[in-house]
Chain A
Amino acid sequence: MIWASWQDFFFMGGYALYVWGSVLVCLLCLIIELVGLRLGWQRLRQSVARRWKLERAAPSASSTPSASSAASARLGEGA
């Protein structure tokens, strides 16, 4: 590599604040996006699976308005 030492690398010729400030914010955005999507997907799978089973398990029970609306409220109606 072109740097004499790792200290020189982190110093970035005096521009450390600007270069690492850019790198870190990029990394942060990527992490937030990926973690958010992974968590969202897992949670969505669970809630959809739960509701799917609920809607098909006991037709008489879930066909009453109060039961199905209670189930909807619990699982959180998404758009």
Chain B
Amino acid sequence: MQTDSKAGWNWYYFATPVNFLPLADKLIAPLGMLALALALLGLYIGFLQAPTDHQQGDAYRIIFLHVPASWMSMVIYLAMAFWAAIGIGFNTRLASMLATALAPTGAMFTFLSLWTGALWGKPTWGTWWVWDARLTSELILLFLYLGFMALQASIDDIRRADKAGAVLALVGVVNIPIIYFSVRWWNTLHQGASVSTKGSSMAAIMLWAMLIMALAFWAYSIMVALMRVRCLILQREQHADWIGPYLGLAAGQNNQSKREGGQ
């Protein structure tokens, strides 16, 4: 970690692609192992130790996938909007790349939330789908993710694509509290919050399995975002001089390219 002349930490050390890329490389495998370990533990408790539910039978076990996926769909969107805001607010490339990297995973978790929710709703509510506030706003979240990705893909100029996507992401942030509070504000078929800062109405063992699965999904999301952002960094910075040494190539005759790497 570099220190600056005032003998403090340089907090912006990792804000440039050239420094961030090796960090991403180091974090991916440990995060993967953490995610796998937590997922195995969570699934073991949830599927092999937690008792059958009195009302829903064994259909309730979808909760160990559905709730973590739903939480991640919202958290990833907030992270995406945050980095998009940093990217246009400070005009930095890496923050925008991070936002772009988060979107596909967020879309995936939103889809999984809807899919597992539908498969849970059919046996318990009697329907695959209903246009209640929570389900509808989660579907809108999926459209926001896909719209973000499509918008960025459609604009050739990379920085303009970053900025246009950022505006969409930020405008769409209002959807997240709507999803979260929908079960409180409206009469919904979807049940109300069973977990809050005041406690939980779930059996302890079920709650633990669900929380462990949520942590597993979190670790997985960070890992995948890092995997994707390093592809973006390599793609966008491929003409920089530091790329050669990073890939293990000799610096060689670089009398052609005098462009600076990094920020």
Contacting residues, chain B, for A59 (C-beta < 8 A): 253, 255-256
B108 contacts A29, C-beta separation under 8 Å: yes
Of B82-90, B115-123, B186-194, the stretch lying at the interface with chain A is B115-123
Contact with A along B167-203 (1 / 0, CB 8 A): 0000000000000000000000000000000000000
In the complex, residue of chain A having the shortest beta-carbon distance to the beta carbon of B44: A1
Contact of B247 among A19, A21, A52, A62 (CB under 8 A): A52
Q: A30-B220, A33-B105 are in contact. Are A44 and B231 (CB under 8 A)?
A: yes
Stretch of B5-13, B45-53, B73-81, B134-142 contacting A (4+ beta carbons < 8 Å): B45-53
CB distance from B254 to the nearest CB of A (A): 5
Which residues of the partner chain B approach A79 to less than 8 Å between Cβ atoms?
A: 153, 156, 158, 161, 235
A37: B residues at CB distance < 8 A:
224, 227-228, 231
Q: Check if B62 is an interface residue, CB within 8 A of chain A.
A: yes
Please determine whether A23 and B65 come into contact, CB atoms closer than 8 angstroms: yes
Within A44-58, the residues touching B (CB, 8 Å) are 44-45, 48-49, 51-53, 55-57
B112 within 8 A of A: yes
Q: If the complex has contacts A33-B104, A41-B231, are A21 and B119 also in contact, measured as CB distance less than 8 A?
A: yes
Q: A12-B61, A33-B104 are in contact. Are A56 and B48 (CB under 8 A)?
A: no
Q: Does A70 sit within 8 A of B, measured CB to CB?
A: no
Contact assessment for A22 and B116 in the assembled complex, using a CB-CB cutoff below 8 Å: yes
Contact between chains at B50 and A33 (CB < 8 Å): no
Number of contacting residues on B, CB 8 A?
A: 49
Task: Look across to chain B and name the residue whose beta carbon is closest to the beta carbon of A20.
Answer: B119
Asked if B252 is at the interface of the complex by the 8 Å CB criterion, the answer is: yes
A9–B161 CA distance with the chains assembled, in angstroms: 49
Bound complex: CA A15 to CA B120 (Å): 9
Q: Which residues A1-55 have CB closer than 8 A to chain B?
A: 1-3, 9, 12-15, 17-19, 21-23, 25-26, 29-30, 33-34, 37-38, 40-41, 44-45, 48-49, 51-53, 55
Minimum CB–CB distance from B119 to chain A (whole Å) comes to 4
Query: A34 CA to B111 CA in the complex, in Å?
Result: 17
Name which of B50, B156, B224 has the most chain A CB atoms within 10 A of its CB. Answer: B224
Interface residues on A, range: 35 or more
Q: Render B55-74 as a binary contact track against A, CB cut-off 8 A, 1 for contact.
A: 00111011001100100000
Interface members, chain B 137-161 (any A CB < 8 Å): 153, 156, 158, 161
In the complex, which residue of chain A has the Cβ closest to the Cβ of B120? A18
Q: A18 near B48 (CB under 8 angstroms)?
A: no
Instruction: Assess whether A33 is in contact with B224, with CB atoms less than 8 Å apart.
Output: yes
Q: Would you give 18 A-B contacts (Cβ < 8 Å), ordered by A?
A: A1-B48, A1-B49, A2-B48, A2-B50, A15-B57, A18-B62, A19-B62, A22-B65, A22-B66, A25-B115, A34-B224, A37-B224, A48-B234, A48-B238, A55-B256, A55-B257, A56-B254, A59-B253
Interface of B toward A, CB cutoff 8 Å:
47-52, 57-59, 61-62, 65-66, 69, 104-105, 108, 111-112, 115-116, 119-120, 122-123, 153, 156, 158, 161, 220, 224, 227-228, 230-231, 234-235, 238-239, 243-244, 247, 249, 252-257
